[in-house]
């Protein structure tokens, strides 16, 4: 099992949700609203005048649990999406155990 974590611009949340729901191997995901702080490049197409003034960018963190074999196909679908499914960043972490309480 792997956990795929994505951080994308908040404006792409609905498109990303639609894309993830269309993937047969994605059985669920979690959105968490986060703020992106750091040096903001003027070339970032997602930066609005508001983002430049307040100094942070609203983002959404998405966490998905996937079978090992499903990680690459899901990443391929995200990369192939128009606009790169939010043009964010991702990381993958191994899951040693999971279940319901």
User: Which CATH number covers residue 70?
Assistant: 3.30.70.120
Give the pLDDT confidence score for residue 86 in this predicted structure. Answer: 57
CA distance 1 to 27: 13
Express each pLDDT in 14-48 by its tens digit: 999 999 999 999 999 999 999 877 665 555 666 66
Domain contains 101:
no
**Domain boundaries, position 58:** 2-94
Confidence of residue 6 (pLDDT cuts 50, 70, 90): very high
Beta carbons within 8 Å of 94's beta carbon, 6+ residues apart: 1, 2, 3
Domain contains 47:
yes
Give the pLDDT confidence score for residue 10 in this predicted structure. Answer: 86
pTM higher than 0.75 for the full model?
yes
Output the average pLDDT for the chain: 84
């Amino acid at each position: 099992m792997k956990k795929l974590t994505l951080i994308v611009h908040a404006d792409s949340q609905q498109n990303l949700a639609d894309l993830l729901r269309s993937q047969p191997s994605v059985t669920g995901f979690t959105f968490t609203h986060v703020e992106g702080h750091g040096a903001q490049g003027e070339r970032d197409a997602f930066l609005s005048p508001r983002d430049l003034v307040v100094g942070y960018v609203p983002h959404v963190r998405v966490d998905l649990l996937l079978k090992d074999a499903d990680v690459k196909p899901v990443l391929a679908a995200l990369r192939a999406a128009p606009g790169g499914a939010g043009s964010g960043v991702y990381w993958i972490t191994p899951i040693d155990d999971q279940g319901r309480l």
